Amino acid sequence: CTGKVTLLLKNLLVLTVATKQTEGFQRFRRSAQFFNYKVQVLGLDEEWKGGDDKKPAGGGQKVRLLKSALKQYVDKEDLIILFIESYDVLFASGPTELLKKFKQAKSKVVFSAENYIYPDRKLEAKYPQVRDGKRFLGSGGFIGYASNLKKLVEEWKGQDDDSDQLFYTNVFLDPEKRESINISLDQRSRIFQNLNGALVLMRHELTQGVDAKKLSCPIMCNMVNCLLQLQLNYLGNYIPQIWTFETGCTVCDEGLRSLTGFKDEALPMILIGIFIEQPTPFLSQFFLRLRNLRYPKQRIQLFIHNHEQHHLMQVDSFVKEHGKEYLAVKVIGPDDEVENAEARNLGMDLCRKDPGCDYYFSLDAEIVLKNTETLRILIEQNKLVIAPLVSRHEKLWSNFWGALSPDGYYARSEDYVDIVQRRRVGLWNVPYISSVYLVKAKVLRSELDQGDLFHSGKLDTDMAFCHNVRNQGVFMYLTNRHQFGHILSLENYQTTHLHNDLWQIFSNPEDWREKYIHENYTAALKGKLVEMPCPDVYWFPIFTDIACDELVEEMEHYGQWSTGDNTDSRIQGGYENVPTIDIHMNQIGFEREWYKFLLDYIAPITEKLYPGYYTKTQFELAFVVRYKPDEQPSLVPHHDASTFTINIALNRVGTDYEGGGCRFLRYNCSIRAPRKGWTLMHPGRLTHYHEGLPTTKGTRYIAVSFLDP
């Protein structure tokens, strides 16, 4: 029995036509190698004249190539040939199973079958009726004896761009030929699982339970059918739901590329294209993270497209201060009037045309790339095009699509949510990526060498890019094997203030926190680092230096400090016992944001420090006070109109001013060296009668809020 199978296997040959070795073709070949199929490739490096995707007919070139290839096998009576497409096909089981099913079909030639008739619908009536299964012939794959196949293509005299589908259909629909060549259709998809038109698909999950570091296999399959013909080339790791699982197999990808042990100067050269296409919060943080990427700057060139006047200063100061650290920097500013797509073409072209460029890394300004290893991780995946997964915080909005709708727009794939939320972890072949991705320069000089990748009909820039990449048979991968970062929300970004990021506490709360909340606030919340310099006066870190500086600058920018005399409305309203030189949060339109800050950061700590008291952080008075020796140096003893008060020092004693501080009279206790970014928190009325100690030099700023008045 084994002998017989071996004999049979020797008599099986796979023929396929591939004029280019696309990634789809390489996937096909890997799966063939895995199962030990003998494959002969026809037409390699020949020009493809068989039509394109704009013209559904075509494919005649394949018939011509098959016809001429068959000449060498005329005398091989027993030879069984599988003729199959390769760009969108992969093997899902081995030759033994294929031959078994071919024999069971009991005809000399078996064609794949389809539910839809094309290219000529008028032929429907001529098709034999079937009780179940698929009725129509598909030319994407067929298997048969060499001599029968020879007869099948004998009468081909068509042109390379004539339809092979129509040709085979006409042979099949001729009852005499059908019988003499002995052709049947694989109606029940026992051999060919054709997914054309099948939209309910299941992507196979790759790496669960597998050590992600060892993993380099994008395809695993375990299904009973012999051949899987994929609907579109990006469905590389989809398996249709209807399939039953019987045998297992793993088809391995080419290896990873390790960067370990490389000297800095030997690392691949990367051109990073940075795109600031709209007003974007936290841009200085963006540049900070760019600098912190762990990759030698002398192996990085920067191309920056800044479309926004609003960001001129930030880009300028980054380039001035750090441009020299990089191998090269090129900036295209708003006055150059270069549009988004054009700018992206320019950036890519810089890399394409520079023989020293190994990778192009495209990075949009709204991407918060927190993983400093990102460049190395992506390079090591060794893909032509690869994106790291980033998504909006706790949202499903991300930089990839799991599937395409039939008209090329977004479609939610069955596994989309699992991939975004990293319940399934792996490397995914996807139809759309955006905002951040790495492209091998090699592919920019071959498959993707057309200068204009970012236009395609009326499609948006990002969709046009993906459309063009897919059309060239280049796979786009997405990895979620690591955490990389997230995407900022740009929705409510106003540009009317000096430091607009301060207003982002609602739209981008995590980024706001990272920029403005002191790194040791979390420790303070746990009760560590909280000091009590005077009875019931707590002292803990709350703001970063940047928060303090920006708040002060914002106030000085606004500039309308109260005069401190009795005409001040607050005094008439009777809330404040003593007047100060100040600007209130509501004067700069910062009331809602300040309230949110109090609620998110002050309330939790209040409840820790004064157990049993639950604050609503209501306030009527929240303001920044300015003390100057020649303006108002100090404040006479007073009670605050509050249940409790916070008093945040916004600048640094010694450097910015001298003197200052706060004295609680009842306890004869002073805090003389306030720390920048730290807040005092003390009860308001009754016990904590206090005074502001004189500022003797420079200018001192504090932010004061009277809570629960």
Ligand X SMILES: *[C@@H]1O[C@H](CO)[C@@H](O)[C@H](O)[C@H]1NC(C)=O
The set of catalytic residues is 700
Comparison of 184 and 696: residue with beta carbon closer to ligand X: 184
Q: Is the peptide bond before 388 cis (omega within 30 degrees of 0)?
A: no
Stretch that binds ligand X, among 174-182, 239-247, 613-621, 647-655 (CB under 6 A): 174-182
Reading phi first (left if > 0) and then psi (alpha if -120 to 50, else beta), residue 304 is in beta
DSSP code string of 570-593: HHHHT--SS--SEEEGGGGT-HHH
- Using alpha carbons, select from 111, 106, 116 the residue that is nearest to residue 185: 111
Site string for ligand X, 655-684 (x = CB under 6 A): -------------x----------------
By rule CB under 6 A, what string of x and - marks binding of each residue 468-507 to ligand X?
----------------------------------------
- Residue 185 or 463 with smaller CB distance to ligand X: 185
Instruction: Return the closest-CA partner of residue 234 out of 413, 111, 397.
Output: 413
DSSP secondary structure letters along 219-256: EEE--S-SEEE-SSTTGGGEEETTPPP-S-EEEPPPPP
**Under rule CB under 6 A, residue 652 binds ligand X:** no
In the three-class reduction of DSSP (H, G, I as helix; E, B as strand; rest coil), residue 601 is classed as helix
Q: Taking the complex as a whole, how short is the minimal distance between the CB of residue 173 and ligand X, in angstroms?
A: 12
- The answer to whether 499 and 556 have CB atoms below 8 angstroms apart is no
Identity of the residue, 107 or 222, whose beta carbon is nearer to ligand X in the bound complex: 107
Specify the residue, 67 or 178, whose C-beta has the smaller distance to ligand X: 178
Q: Given candidates 96, 107, 340, 371, which one binds ligand X under the rule CB under 6 A?
A: 107
Which is nearest to 507 in space by CA: 495, 496, 491? 491
520: contact with ligand X by CB under 6 A: yes
Beta-strand pair 39-42/201-203? unpaired
Q: Does 184 bind ligand X (CB under 6 A)?
A: yes
Q: Which residue among 148, 182, 340, 634 contacts ligand X (CB under 6 A)? A: 182
**Angle, alpha carbons 572-574-577 (nearest 5°):** 110
In angstroms, what is the minimal distance from the CB of 148 to ligand X?
10
- Binding segment (CB under 6 A) for ligand X, from list 45-53, 120-128, 182-190, 482-490: 182-190
Place of tokens 């190994």: 358
In the complex, minimum distance from the CB of residue 288 to ligand X, in angstroms, rounded to a whole number: 15
Give the dihedral sign, CA 128/134/140/142: negative
CA distance 373 to 156: 57
Collapsing DSSP states into helix, strand and coil, what is residue 678? strand
699 contributes a contact to ligand X by CB under 6 A = no
When asked if residue 129 is in the footprint of ligand X (CB under 6 A), the reply is no
Q: Which stretch binds ligand X (CB under 6 A): 67-75, 175-183, 507-515, 597-605?
A: 175-183
Q: Does position 519 bind ligand X by CB under 6 A?
A: yes
Q: How many residues of this chain bind ligand X (CB under 6 A)?
A: 10
Are 613 and 607 in contact by the 8 Å Cβ rule? The answer is yes
DSSP codes, 333-352: -GGG---HHHHHHHHHHHHH
Region binding ligand X by CB under 6 A among candidate stretches 165-173, 179-187, 634-642, 700-708: 179-187
Q: Is 148 in the site for ligand X (CB under 6 A)?
A: no
Q: Output 184 or 507, the one with its CB closest to ligand X.
A: 184
Compute the least distance from the CB of residue 155 to ligand X, in Å: 18
Classify 141 as helix, strand or coil: strand
List of residues contacting ligand X (CB under 6 A): 106-107, 178-179, 182-184, 519-520, 668
